[in-house]
């Protein structure tokens, strides 16, 4: 089984600065409003798993340290 590392987000400290989105070289991140009701004021990063290459640039660029890389095994 091979593992791929993808970003895991901790939204509590996220300030919606979009640096992670701008840093991603493959456009795997976008800012979206979570939930269907739109009750959240801030936009948060959302990952397109199929585009993420696991480079960790988003995690390294986050000024609030809201992103950690997490191993995901093929088939999960």
- Report the CATH number that the domain containing residue 31 is assigned in CATH: 3.30.70.20
Spans of the chain, pLDDT less than 50? none
Overall domain count for the chain: 1
What is the pLDDT of the chain when averaged over all its residues? Answer: 88
Listed residue (12, 3, 6, 16) closest to 70, CA to CA: 6
DSSP 67: E
What confidence score (pLDDT) does residue 12 get?
Answer: 87
What confidence score (pLDDT) does residue 33 get?
Answer: 80
Name the residue range of residue 33's domain. 3-73
What confidence score (pLDDT) does residue 11 get?
Answer: 86
What confidence score (pLDDT) does residue 75 get?
Answer: 63
Please tell me the total number of residues recorded for the chain in this structure.
76
């Amino acid at each position: 089984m091979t593992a791929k590392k993808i970003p895991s987000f901790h939204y509590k400290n996220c300030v919606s600065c979009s640096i992670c989105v701008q840093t991603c070289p493959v456009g795997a991140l976008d800012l979206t409003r979570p939930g269907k009701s739109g009750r959240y004021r801030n936009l948060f990063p959302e990952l397109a798993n199929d585009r993420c290459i696991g480079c960790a640039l988003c995690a390294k660029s986050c000024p609030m340290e809201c992103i950690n890389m997490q191993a995901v095994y093929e088939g999960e």
